[in-house]
Amino acid sequence: MTDAKTFWNNCHSKELKESICGFYENGKYFTTFERTIEFLQLKPYIKPGLHVLEIGVGIGKTTKGFYDKGLIVSGLDVSDVALSKVKRYCENVYTTSELDKLPSDYFDIIICNRVVQHVPTDLLIEELKHCMRSLKNDGIFAIQFVSNDVKEDMGLNCSIHNIKAGTCCRTPEYLEKLISRFGGECELVFDAVSGTGVVKKNHVFHVRKIDNV
Residue 213 has pLDDT above 50, yes or no: no
**What mean pLDDT do residues 186-212 have?**
90
- 25-56 pLDDT per residue, tens: 888 999 999 999 999 999 999 999 999 999 99
Q: In this predicted structure, which of 3-7, 8-12, 42-46, 128-132 has the lowest mean pLDDT?
A: 3-7
- 97-155 pLDDT per residue, tens: 999 999 999 999 999 999 999 999 999 999 999 999 999 999 999 999 999 888 778 77
CA distance 50 to 106: 10
> So what's the pLDDT on residue 194?
80
Residue 196 has pLDDT above 70, yes or no: no
> So what's the pLDDT on residue 48?
98
> So what's the pLDDT on residue 1?
59
CA distance 107 to 86: 18
Q: Which of 78, 59, 56, 75 is nearest to 5 (CA)?
A: 78
Dihedral (Cα; 126, 127, 129, 130), 10-degree rounding: 110
Name, in order, each residue with C-beta under 8 angstroms of 107's C-beta and a sequence gap of 6 or more: 51, 52, 53, 74, 134, 135, 136, 139
Residue 38 falls in which region: left (phi positive, over 0), alpha (psi -120 to 50) or beta: alpha
* Homologous superfamily of the 2-209 domain (CATH): Vaccinia Virus protein VP39 (3.40.50.150)
Q: What is the DSSP-derived secondary structure letter of residue 96?
A: G
- 52-84 pLDDT per residue, tens: 999 999 999 999 999 999 999 999 999 999 999
